Amino acid sequence: MHTLHLAKTRAAQRRNQGGAVMFLVTMTLAVLASVGIYALAAATSEVTASGSERQATQTHYLAEYGTVASTQMMSASRAQSYIATMIATPDSGCWSLPVNATTQPDNVIRACSHVKDIEIAAAGGWTGATFGTFTGIAAPTPDFVVEYTGLAKAFTPPRYALNLNICFAEITASAYGTTMPANSFGEGIETQRARLIAGPVTGAICQ
């Protein structure tokens, strides 16, 4: 009887502990699910950060290419034409100009010209860019524009005789590189700036 009584007592105790076992199993599953969700979130953040880093690198090289292309476009054979256009018909909405430049009567102060990538491509200085997809992310659309401002008479560069009576122009070239993803969210933009000495030139800038 004593053995039977102990067995019945242990069975009753096990029945009372059935809820605790279910609680432990449920909590274990919840912890495992939380770990899995955290791992998925961390992987998603890593992919997003890698995509953003890739886009930033592409934007950087686009702006750098715009700076190099602006130097090529402002060669001695084209400088005179660009400078004449900047002075005669300054473009509006130039970011690089001072705030009050557009209200100045002097066209040299207001001088500005935008050169888009299609114009540089037409001149043979831009072959376009093709960016592939990255871990399922659509390729961004590359673009850049160069802004010529800050027109001023420059000192004669080295290796030129000072008695030649020729004129050179100093121009500020601001290259704006942009990358726009397919979903139109998270645009990347970078600006690079260079000071160019172009010439020999003639015209109002030399007076």
Taking phi first (over 0 means left), then psi (-120 to 50 degrees means alpha), and beta for anything else, what does residue 124 get?
A: left
Contact criterion met (CB below 8 Å) for 191 and 176: yes
- Residues 145 and 164: their CA atoms lie apart, in Å, by 35
pLDDT one digit per residue (tens) for the chain, 207 residues: 567 666 666 666 666 655 666 777 778 888 888 888 888 888 777 777 777 777 788 888 888 888 888 888 877 778 888 888 888 888 877 787 776 666 666 777 778 888 877 777 766 655 555 444 444 455 667 778 888 888 888 888 777 777 777 888 888 888 888 887 766 566 788 888 888 888 788 877 777
Where along the chain do its domains lie?
53-206
